[in-house]
């Protein structure tokens, strides 16, 4: 296969590219990424000279570029999105632009160039917030987004479904719970807390710490997307969960214990506006239909993640300092997608 991955320099996208190139040695991947603050070329540094990998610096909102890139591909895997809720509170416009208009550009390009297979990566946050005893989100849960981020992702989900029903575009959608693992941008909770503790700093815990999240190790997420692309039913949505619900306080305590730190390192901070209480995912559909379930337990995944950040301090130090933003200018040659790379075989 020849695959266009959008947002592949980000956390989940880069892990997916590592996963796919390793598992499918005959496949080629082109990575379209605008290299905003969350996109880091160092995430894929080992593939810079890989003939099966091509990087294109560009915006999913660039209609001409997107239309050109999709002409030779067999599938599009769409990760590109603004995703940090705190940032959506401060500046929602960019979330609407990237998550809604960018998705529309990709769908339209896929439609105009032969109805290209399209997988859309979404989030559990489109479903809103659960109470402590509510059943987990599933594919039939009504949408109830509560932030500009989740509202923009909900809109993109609806666009994807509309292109399936109206135009027959071969699409699938996945809604996943909170990912964690290598290359996660250290504004997010787990890497922020781990790197702060390595630096001897306290960890900022929102409110009373009783908000609940379901945690999914990123490689398990990649395996789920793989299963959906290869075995999923066109037009269907699949919920992907980690079967690991934890309160933020429980998660914090676990990190402290694994890093041999005490509770004096917790700094309770003012809760963010509209902070959803609980997310949980019922992944029985993807388990029953495609045979997928998480393979990495939360304890295993968290230990692996902490070890990765301990062993890759140069990576996150550059991210926290902002030096990573200069990496592209200094070291990464701007690859150009040549038509020959993705020319269809007769």
On whether residue 66 sits in a domain, the answer given is yes
When pLDDT is cut at 50, 70 and 90, the band that residue 140 belongs to is: very high
**What's the CA gap between 106 and 76, in Å, rounded?**
8
Helix (H) or strand (E) holding 4: strand 2-6
Please determine, for residue 251, whether its predicted confidence score (pLDDT) is greater than 50: yes
Q: What string of DSSP letters covers 227-292? A: HHHHHPPTT-EEEE--S-EEEHHHHHHHHHHHTT--GGGEEEEPPPTT---B--B--HHHHHHH--
Q: Are 154 and 81 in contact (CB under 8 A)?
A: no
Please determine, for residue 143, whether its predicted confidence score (pLDDT) is greater than 70: yes
**What's the CA gap between 276 and 133, in Å, rounded?**
14
On whether residue 252 sits in a domain, the answer given is no
**What's the CA gap between 302 and 233, in Å, rounded?**
32
On whether residue 204 sits in a domain, the answer given is no
> What average pLDDT does this structure show over 2-18?
97
On whether residue 312 sits in a domain, the answer given is no
Q: Are 256 and 197 in contact (CB under 8 A)?
A: yes
Please determine, for residue 5, whether its predicted confidence score (pLDDT) is greater than 90: yes
Helix (H) or strand (E) holding 225: helix 218-231
pLDDT of res. 87:
58
> What average pLDDT does this structure show over 136-148?
95
What is the average pLDDT value for the chain, to the nearest integer?
91
β-bridge mates for residue 56, sequence order: 32
Question: 189-198 and 298-311 helices cross at what angle (nearest 10)?
Answer: 50
Please determine, for residue 97, whether its predicted confidence score (pLDDT) is greater than 80: yes
**What's the CA gap between 149 and 241, in Å, rounded?**
20
120: left (phi over 0), alpha (psi -120 to 50) or beta: beta
Domain that holds residue 288: 2-181+215-243+278-297+326-331
Please determine, for residue 346, whether its predicted confidence score (pLDDT) is greater than 80: no
On whether residue 172 sits in a domain, the answer given is yes
The 10s digit of each residue's pLDDT in 190-217 is 999 999 999 999 999 999 999 999 999 9
The 10s digit of each residue's pLDDT in 314-331 is 999 988 887 776 755 555
> What average pLDDT does this structure show over 104-132?
97
pLDDT of res. 296:
98
**Residue 330 phi/psi, 5° resolution?**
-90, -35
Q: Are 205 and 249 in contact (CB under 8 A)?
A: yes
CATH code of the domain covering residue 79: 3.40.50.720
Helix (H) or strand (E) holding 217: strand 212-217
pLDDT of res. 127:
97
On whether residue 153 sits in a domain, the answer given is yes
The 10s digit of each residue's pLDDT in 29-75 is 999 999 887 788 899 999 989 999 999 999 999 999 999 999 989 99
Catalytic residue set: 124-125, 149
When pLDDT is cut at 50, 70 and 90, the band that residue 84 belongs to is: low
pLDDT of res. 324:
72
Q: How many domains does the chain have?
A: 1
Please determine, for residue 299, whether its predicted confidence score (pLDDT) is greater than 70: yes
The 10s digit of each residue's pLDDT in 211-243 is 999 999 999 999 999 999 999 999 999 999 999
Q: What percent of the chain has pLDDT over 70?
A: 91
When pLDDT is cut at 50, 70 and 90, the band that residue 332 belongs to is: low
Out of 110-119, 144-153, 190-199, 295-304, which region has the weakest mean confidence (pLDDT)? 144-153
Q: Is the pTM value of this prediction over 0.75?
A: yes
């Amino acid at each position: 296969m020849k695959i266009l991955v959008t947002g592949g320099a980000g956390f989940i996208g880069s892990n997916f590219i590592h996963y796919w190139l390793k598992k499918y040695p005959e496949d080629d991947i082109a990575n379209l990424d605008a290299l905003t603050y969350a996109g880091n070329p160092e995430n894929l540094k080992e593939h810079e000279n890989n003939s099966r990998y091509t990087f294109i610096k560009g915006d999913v909102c660039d209609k001409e570029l997107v239309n050109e890139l999709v002409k030779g591909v067999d599938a599009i895997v769409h990760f590109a999105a603004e995703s940090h809720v705190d940032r959506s509170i401060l500046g929602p416009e960019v979330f609407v632009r990237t998550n809604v208009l960018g998705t529309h550009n990709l769908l339209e390009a896929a439609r105009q160039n032969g109805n290209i297979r399209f997988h859309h990566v979404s989030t559990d946050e489109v479903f809103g917030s659960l109470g402590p005893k509510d059943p987990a989100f599933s594919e039939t849960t009504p949408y109830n987004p509560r932030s500009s981020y989740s509202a923009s992702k909900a809109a993109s989900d609806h666009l994807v479904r509309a292109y399936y029903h109206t135009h027959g575009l071969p699409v699938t959608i996945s809604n996943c719970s909170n990912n964690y693992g290598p290359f996660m941008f250290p504004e997010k909770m787990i890497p922020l807390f781990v790197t702060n503790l390595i630096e001897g700093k306290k960890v900022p815990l929102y409110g009373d710490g009783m908000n609940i999240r379901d945690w999914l190790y990123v490689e398990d997420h990649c395996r789920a997307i793989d299963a959906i692309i290869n075995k999923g039913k066109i037009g269907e949505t699949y919920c992907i969960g980690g079967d690991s619900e934890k309160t933020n306080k429980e998660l914090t305590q676990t990190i402290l214990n694994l890093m041999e730190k005490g509770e004096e390192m917790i700094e309770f901070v003012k809760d963010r506006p509209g902070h959803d209480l609980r997310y949980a995912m019922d992944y029985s559909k993807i388990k029953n239909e495609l045979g997928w379930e998480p393979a990495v337990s939360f304890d295993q995944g968290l230990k692996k993640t902490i070890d990765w950040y301990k062993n890759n301090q140069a990576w996150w130090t550059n991210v926290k300092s902002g030096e990573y933003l200069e990496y592209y200018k200094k070291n990464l040659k701007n690859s150009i997608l040549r038509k020959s790379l993705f020319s269809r075989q007769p």
